[in-house]
Each structure stands twice: as structure tokens, then as C-alpha cells.
A = this chain, B = another copy of it.
Amino acid sequence: MIGRSTSPRNVASAEEPIVYVVDDDASVRDALRSLFRSVGLRVEVFGSAPEFLQSKLPDVASCLILDIRLPRLSGLDFQVDLARAGIHIPIIFMTGHGDIPMTVRAMKAGAVDFLTKPFRDQDMLDAVAAAIERDRNSRDEAKILSDLHARFGTLTAREREVMALVTAGLMNKQVAAEIGIAEITVKIHRGQIMRKMAAKSLADLVKMAQTLGLQRAAPPQ
């Protein structure tokens, strides 16, 4: 919700999305590859989880189709590994003989869908469309957040402190009293903060602080 005013929407949608398929069964891989190609989607297939991990993932909207029963690692454990590794990609599970606890676990962990084989092509395509859309949105948000963090990173410790207090609604003199400096110094910091954060107004800065989850460090005791 910040900084979107003039920038084009859906940054991550500039390039065509990719569907990754991880399944140890070659016939399933081939079938899915041709299914997705038939609707004009880019596809990358892998026979195992490590293969997928070794490939470099371009920065475009994508999703992962995962068989729940993989050679070494279960699809569910792989889902956890990905999350822990900071790879947040929407996952669609496939299973030939899954059970309900598995399904619940996968969905709780954020899976987009859980399809039982054999599934209808359309169900898979619908799931992929939803997953890609979800990834597009989360990429857009992540982009905004990382830009914001980058700018916030250029602030000095003092400036961050002042920013937190200012966006908490304190007046310059209150900020000055709180951290024990002169009001004029607060004003100077404040000007620097506005420049570095590229905030066009206080309202703007407050929204950035919200997005960053900024809170005043020291309550008034």
C-alpha cells in the first residue's frame, strides 16, 4: 500500500510465470509438461527435490507441483525445508494415496491445493492459476517491503530512533525530551529521514513505519 502511486502494478507479472513440477514418475512429468505447455505456461520438470533445489529460480511468479510421495524426502518435509530455507513458493500437492492428516498438514503449512490422482486437467489448471496469482501478489508485496527495508537500512541508529518516535505521533519537542537532545537536532534528523526514506509527507512516513512494523523502542516509563 505504499509507493504504488506511480509504479506499474504487478511487477512480478512482467515476465511469464513458470510452473515447476517435481515428480519421480517420468510419465507424470511428461503429462504435466504437455498440459501446461498446451495453455502456454512455461514449465520446468524435475525428478527429485534436490534437482529442483539446485536449479536457479528466476525472479518471476511461479508455483511448484509436488508429489507427496517423493523418493527420499516426503513432499511434506520438503515443503517445510523450503519454508525454512526462505523459499516461499506456492505449492500444489498431488497424491495417489494420501490421507486426511497429510492433507491437513499440507494445507496448514500453506499449500494452495491438494489434488488426488487421477485429477481432471482443469482442476490442475485452476489450482495453478490460483497459485501463480498468489505468488504474484506476494512477490509484489515482498518487492515493496524490500525496497522499504533498503531505504530504512541507510538510516543511522539515531535516525531510526527519531523515526520511531515521530511516527508514533510525538512532537519534535517531545522526541527531543525523550532522547535528551535539542529540538533543533530532532528537526535536522527528521529532514534527513524524509530524504532517505523518500517520504513525501509525514503521512507517507507513518505508513512506511507501519509496513516496517516500527514501534517506539522506549515507552515513557
Contacts and interface: CB of A to CB of B under 8 A. Distances in A.
Interface residues of A, number: 27
A104 B98 contact: no
Contact of A207 (B201, B204, B210): B210
Contacts of A84: none
A169 B114 contact: no
B100 A95 contact: yes
A203 B169 contact: yes
A116 B100 contact: yes
Contact of A206 (B103, B104, B116, B207): B207
How many copies of this protein are present in the complex?
2
A155 to B, nearest CB: 17
Nearest to A127: B104
Given A169-B200, A210-B1, A103 B95 contact: no
Contacts of A168: 203
A113 interface: yes
Nearest to A215: B1
A166 B168 CA distance: 17
A107 interface: yes
A166 B203 contact: yes
Contacts of A207: 206, 210
A95 to B, nearest CB: 7
A200 B170 CA distance: 9
Interface string A98-117: 11110110011000011010
A167 interface: yes
A202 interface: yes
21 contacts: A1-B210, A95-B100, A100-B100, A100-B103, A100-B114, A100-B116, A103-B104, A104-B114, A166-B203, A167-B203, A168-B203, A169-B200, A169-B201, A169-B202, A169-B203, A202-B202, A202-B203, A203-B206, A206-B206, A207-B210, A210-B210
